[in-house]
Amino acid sequence: MPTATDDQSRSFSLTEGGPTYRIEQRLGLIGEQSAHVLRTAMIAISVTWVPLFALSAMQGNAIGHAVAVPFLRDFSVHARFLLSVPLLLVAEPIVGRHWARAARHFITSGLVTQEDFQRFDEAVKRGLASRDSATAEVLMVILACVITAVALISTAVHVSTWFALRTNSGVTLTWSGWWFTLFCVPVFQFLTLRWLWRQ
């Protein structure tokens, strides 16, 4: 016979909540269907990797020998924005479904006894409240920006690359470097922090 605990555990998906989740829903990025998955991956790539490539190409830093490290030879940026960012978004509904199934298993398997139902319900409620916390996500955005700023300041640029040009007067960011620093890296850091928070 279903109980309140059954209902709680059935809705216990740690990926289906929070302000950014609701934004993703409005943009049609949420769903396990292949169309949603493909759209999510393509949008992630089109706002990160594609502008970086386009801006690098416009300044002549995408290929060739104008800089020591052209864009297409920087495999770390491809790993981040062609693989990691799309996967972090695409995996959410899939992993969330398995987490919800695991929560149900605690009830159906008898691991949580009837006398512990109330404590289990309270634990689930606390988990869902943490998942939906706007304060937590704002702090993650701030932390993502701080991490990006610290990384930028501490990174030593010894040669010119697609994102930063080294001259006698110092280091200046390229057009793609500005997009990389102000948007792409903070997005990557935020998605990583959000996964860690939900775990």
Label each residue of the chain as H, E or C. Answer: CCCHHHHHHHCCCCCCCCHHHHHHHHCCCCCCCHHHHHHHHHHHHHHCHHHHHHHHHHCCCCCCCCCCECHHHCHHHHHHHHHHHHHHHHHHHHHHHHHHHHHHHHHHCCCCCHHHHHHHHHHHHHHHHHHCCHHHHHHHHHHHHHHHHHHHHHCCCCCCECCEEEECCEEEECHHHHHHHHHHHHHHHHHHHHHHHHC
| pLDDT tens readout for residues 1-41 | 444 444 444 456 777 778 888 887 787 766 656 567 788 88
Q: What is the pLDDT of residue 34?
A: 55
